[in-house]
Amino acid sequence: MLKVYGIKNCSSMKKAFDLLNELGLAYEFHDYKKQGIDADTVKVWLDQIGTEVVLNKKGTTWRKLSTAEQEAALGTEAGLIQALTTHNSLIKRPIIATGNAFVVGFDEAMIRGLN
């Protein structure tokens, strides 16, 4: 079963849910706005997917961080994990865990390929 991580009220998430439902793919949803996200999960994402893919620098949450907070997030892996677990809107959405790989962001072709 797929595990979908994200925030329920997000346009990318809504498109992903609609497509997953259309394809009849079973999934478990982890809403990290309500449930939070643990450092171990974030570390796995950073190790397997990479900082540039996981960290959403285009969103308002990143822009609202002070320069010092941005530098702390980018300075060390521990700083980045702290930033992502504290400000989970910094995580690109959705992250779909397939068991052995990840789809990050709404990518229709990749999601259709999960079928």
Task: Specify the pLDDT at position 70.
Answer: 97
**How far is residue 49's CA from residue 61's CA, in Å, rounded to a whole number?**
21
Residue with the two structure tokens 């394809």: 23
CB of 36 closer than 8 Å to CB of 85 = yes
Residue positions annotated with a catalytic role:
10
Please give the pLDDT value at position 18: 97
Judged on CB neighbours under 10 Å (0-12, 13-18, 19+), 57 is middle
Residue with tokens 């190790």: 47
CB distance 7 to 93 below 8 Å: yes
Radius of gyration of the chain (CA): 14
pLDDT computed for residue 76 by the predictor: 96
What is the mean pLDDT for each group of 10 consecutive residues in the chain (115 residues)?
A: 94 96 97 95 96 95 96 96 96 94 95 90
pTM, two decimal places? 0.93
CA 103, CA 4: separation in Å to the nearest integer?
9
Domains along the chain? 2-112 (3.40.30.10)
**CA dist 12 to 35, 60, 76, 82, 91, Å?**
19, 15, 29, 24, 12
Q: pLDDT value at position 25? A: 96
pLDDT for 100 equals 83
